[in-house]
């Protein structure tokens, strides 16, 4: 049995045990997704309305034996995000959310991804603690953060080129 079918079977069994899906649905999912990538399974369950987001997060938490974290609407710390290149965040599907002394908490879609800790360790020396999150939400948050920052930088450059005042230019000197 390959890693993907193990994941699908394990997650489907957890969802059935949670009574989110029936035994028949579980068996159908295991059969239909035997050779599909993990990510496609997550998306399918949500897009088809088979499971609710909270149920999927709880099932993923049980499957990976780590807490889950719903990043939708979370305000990210810019200083943590810029430690990692966008392509690495997207490739390994993770996003840092918190730094507490020497521990960095990272939300990841697949905490069992080969070389994940090494890839993260190339950019930080903090102790890494994982939370599991939904792939689509992590990728969406990464893109939103980086795209927003690129737009902001482009707007600042355009303002400078056009001679538009900076926010600091609002200060008026009343002393003559």
The tens digit of pLDDT for each residue in 62-87 reads 999 999 999 998 988 888 998 999 99
Contacts 24+ apart (CB under 8 A), 16-23: 18/55, 18/58, 18/59, 20/51, 20/52, 20/55, 20/59, 21/50, 21/51
The arithmetic mean of pLDDT across residues 139-148, rounded, is: 86
Show the CA angle centred on residue 112, arms to residues 109 and 113, nearest 5°. 75
The arithmetic mean of pLDDT across residues 132-140, rounded, is: 94
The tens digit of pLDDT for each residue in 23-74 reads 999 999 988 887 777 778 888 899 989 999 999 999 999 999 999 999 998 9
User: Does the structure show a pLDDT above 60 at 173?
Assistant: no
Secondary structure of 124-135 as H, E, C letters:
CCCEEEEEECCH
Bridge-partner residues for 94, per DSSP?
108
Bridge-partner residues for 132, per DSSP?
68, 108
């Amino acid at each position: 049995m390959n890693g993907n079918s193990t994941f699908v079977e394990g997650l489907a069994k957890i969802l059935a045990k949670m009574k989110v899906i029936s035994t028949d649905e579980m068996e159908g999912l295991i059969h239909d997704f035997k050779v599909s990538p993990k990510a496609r399974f997550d998306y399918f369950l949500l897009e088809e309305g088979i499971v609710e987001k909270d149920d999927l997060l709880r099932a993923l938490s049980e499957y990976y034996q780590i807490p889950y974290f719903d990043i939708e609407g979370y305000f990210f710390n810019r200083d943590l995000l810029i430690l990692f290149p966008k392509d690495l965040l997207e490739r390994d599907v993770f996003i840092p959310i918190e730094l507490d002394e020497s521990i960095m908490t990272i939300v990841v879609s697949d905490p069992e991804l080969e070389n994940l800790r090494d890839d993260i360790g190339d950019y930080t020396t903090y102790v890494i603690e994982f939370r599991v999150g939904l792939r689509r939400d992590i990728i969406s948050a990464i893109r939103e953060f980086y795209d927003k920052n690129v737009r902001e930088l482009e707007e600042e450059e355009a303002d400078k080129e056009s001679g538009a005042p900076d926010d600091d230019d609002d200060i008026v000197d009343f002393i003559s």
